[in-house]
């Protein structure tokens, strides 16, 4: 599904750097309305080509007074007014609208952060169905001091600051708070009212529509004689992507599963059995353990690891394509990958950073880790979807439910779960054993489906212990488990103490070389889910 294919009822979010921007996208999609997020500093051409019916200007950490503060492009106001596009500014987005339309924004006498009460001061306004008070989530230091001509205040905070403004005649609206977060209990009702009752957006966007649109796009992209290969990782994303492409072009798809030496405990055997017995996909397994580990020897920088792994994957795919050409007389020209929307978002430059490319949180092997000179053209049928949407699509494609419930696994595999040199000692073997005990314990306790992702991490440190009445100087491992809806934000999972005690004992008693187990209790943000 290319963004340009969605021409009706598109709600476009211009991202100015708020940590909540992706939540706006998700909240709108939950209403069965397609929503897409692009950089707030995108060109006017990028915006007009998408032909949105509604544009939302997100919040952000900047002040509109700051030098080089991010803004929408020149000609934006003229474009939305000429096309009758509705515009909603949220937090920084409201201030941006006010400032650009001739109003005044200044540093507030009192800053407003966290839960605040606001009061709707105008009945029958566009933003609210009813008057009265409600609790919202504020996060701003600047405030609208003077509104542009034609605007009026429709809600104020307890401190008297502007909380919501609108100019229905010009279709401009603004909220100083964040309706997209759960801390604004009536925020979803406000968004729903605004989209359906004010903007006239029609719901009806479904995963069936996505499937049909994507099959159409794949068939238009791939010629009738072209062949395609798919990189299967054993995870949900690549499997759903492969199944979707197989539905579109049939046996012209050839899948390859690469054992790079960075897989989980018995992953190769388990995954290949699932592919062959349940999914009936044409899969070739390539043993490339020595190829990957030899290139990773001595490498400790996580970004370098990801780049090396991405490059080696492409070398294998190119070789696989050449081998297929010799056997079939047709050389594959496309490579399918299970890139998701969070992968794309995390690999994009933050607005206002001054960078033309990514200030990378981490290079995803299927976004930033691929070499620029790769010969295969990419097909990324899931790149505008979140994980839960991919799982829903997988159900429609009859991918077995237990497979769809698998926890996410990073493309670089255990390379980003062994901190430091992955080839040093027996770190990978230790990590596999620890991870298997942890995951199996979670399953035995009936907790697996309640957790977004769980895994173990091998730390590059040793600690002193006592085992069998002897002093030990052994390895330390960390356990990480989080809950999340889409992987963009996450909270650490609060296990019962007895569960942690049992798991720690099993690990230390069963895995030679480990004498200490710690738990990661950090949310995202400030941490990422993976350690590297």
Contact indicator for 39, 358 with CB cutoff of 8 Å: no
Contact indicator for 343, 332 with CB cutoff of 8 Å: no
Give the whole-angstrom CA distance, residue 119 versus residue 135: 9
Query: Could you confirm whether 178 is annotated as catalytic?
Result: yes
Q: How many CB atoms lie within 10 A of CB 118?
A: 27
525: preceding bond cis by omega (within 30 degrees): yes
Q: Is 474 annotated as a binding residue?
A: no
Contact indicator for 255, 244 with CB cutoff of 8 Å: no
Q: Is 233 annotated as a binding residue?
A: yes
Q: Is 237 annotated as a binding residue?
A: yes
DSSP class of residue 350 equals P
Q: Catalytic: which of 37, 62, 91, 508?
A: 91
**Residue 318: which of 348, 288, 297, 347 has the closest Cα?**
288
What contacts 389, CB < 8 A, 6 or more positions away? 29, 207, 210
Q: Is 234 annotated as a binding residue?
A: yes
Q: Is 503 annotated as a binding residue?
A: no
For the beta sheet containing 253-259, the strands, ordered from the edge strand earlier in sequence to the opposite edge, are 283-287, 253-259, 228-232, 334-336, 377-379
Query: Could you confirm whether 125 is annotated as catalytic?
Result: no
Q: Catalytic: which of 178, 227, 246, 364?
A: 178
Give the whole-angstrom CA distance, residue 159 versus residue 118: 9
Contact indicator for 519, 488 with CB cutoff of 8 Å: no
Q: Catalytic: which of 112, 143, 180, 214?
A: 180
Query: Could you confirm whether 180 is annotated as catalytic?
Result: yes
Cα–Cα distances in angstroms (integers) from residue 37 to residues 18, 22, 153, 344, 484, in the given order: 12, 7, 28, 10, 20
Binding residues: 233-239
| Residues forming the active site | 91, 178, 180
Annotated binding site for ATP: 233-239
């Amino acid at each position: 599904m290319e963004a340009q294919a969605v021409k009706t009822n598109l709600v476009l979010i211009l991202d100015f750097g708020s940590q909540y921007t992706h939540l706006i996208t998700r909240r709108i999609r939950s209403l069965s309305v397609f929503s897409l997020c692009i950089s707030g500093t995108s060109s006017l051409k990028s915006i007009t080509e998408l032909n949105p019916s509604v544009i939302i200007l997100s919040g952000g950490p900047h002040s509109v007074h700051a030098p080089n503060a991010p803004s929408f492009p020149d000609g934006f106001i003229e474009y939305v007014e000429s096309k009758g596009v509705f515009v909603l500014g949220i937090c920084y987005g409201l201030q941006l609208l006010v400032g650009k339309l001739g109003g005044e924004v200044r540093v507030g006498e009192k800053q407003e952060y966290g839960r605040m009460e606001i009061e709707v001061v105008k009945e029958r306004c566009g933003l609210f169905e009813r008057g009265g008070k409600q609790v919202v989530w504020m996060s701003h230091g600047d405030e609208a001091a003077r509104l542009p001509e034609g605007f009026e205040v429709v809600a104020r905070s307890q401190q008297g600051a502007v909380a919501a403004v609108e100019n229905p005649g010009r279709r401009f609206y603004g909220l100083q708070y964040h309706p997209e977060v759960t801390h604004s209990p009536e925020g979803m009702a406000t968004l729903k009212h605004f989209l359906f009752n004010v903007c006239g957006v029609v719901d009806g966007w479904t995963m069936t529509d996505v499937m049909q649109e994507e099959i159409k796009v794949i068939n238009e992209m791939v010629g009738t004689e072209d062949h395609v290969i798919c990189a299967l990782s054993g995870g949900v994303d690549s499997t759903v992507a492969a199944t979707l492409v197989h539905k579109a072009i049939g046996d012209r798809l050839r899948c390859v599963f690469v054992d790079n030496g960075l897989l989980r405990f018995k992953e190769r055997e388990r995954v290949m059995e699932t592919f062959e017995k349940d999914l009936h996909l044409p899969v070739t397994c390539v043993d490339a353990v020595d190829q990957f580990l030899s290139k990773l020897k001595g490498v400790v920088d996580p970004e370098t690891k990801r780049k090396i792994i991405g490059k080696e994957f492409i070398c294998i795919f190119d070789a696989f394509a050449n081998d297929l050409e010799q056997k079939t007389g047709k050389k594959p020209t496309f490579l399918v990958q299970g890139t998701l929307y969070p992968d794309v978002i995390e690999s994009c430059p933050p607005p206002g950073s001054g960078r033309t490319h990514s200030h990378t949180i981490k290079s995803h092997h299927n976004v930033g880790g691929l070499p620029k000179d790769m010969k295969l053209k990419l097909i990324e049928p899931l790149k505008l979807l979140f994980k839960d949407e991919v799982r829903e699509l997988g159900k429609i494609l009859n991918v077995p439910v237990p497979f769809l419930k698998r926890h996410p696994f990073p493309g670089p595999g255990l390379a980003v779960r062994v901190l430091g040199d992955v080839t040093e000692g027996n770190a990978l073997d230790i990590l596999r054993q620890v991870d298997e005990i942890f995951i199996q314990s979670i399953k035995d306790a009936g907790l697996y489906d309640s957790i977004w992702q769980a895994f173990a991490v091998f730390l590059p440190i040793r600690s002193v212990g006592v085992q069998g009445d002897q002093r030990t100087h052994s390895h330390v491992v960390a356990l990480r488990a989080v809950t999340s809806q889409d992987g963009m934000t996450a909270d650490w999972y609060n296990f019962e103490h007895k569960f942690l005690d049992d798991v720690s004992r099993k690990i230390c008693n069963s895995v030679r070389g480990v004498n200490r187990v710690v738990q990661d209790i950090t949310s995202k943000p400030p941490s990422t889910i993976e350690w590297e």
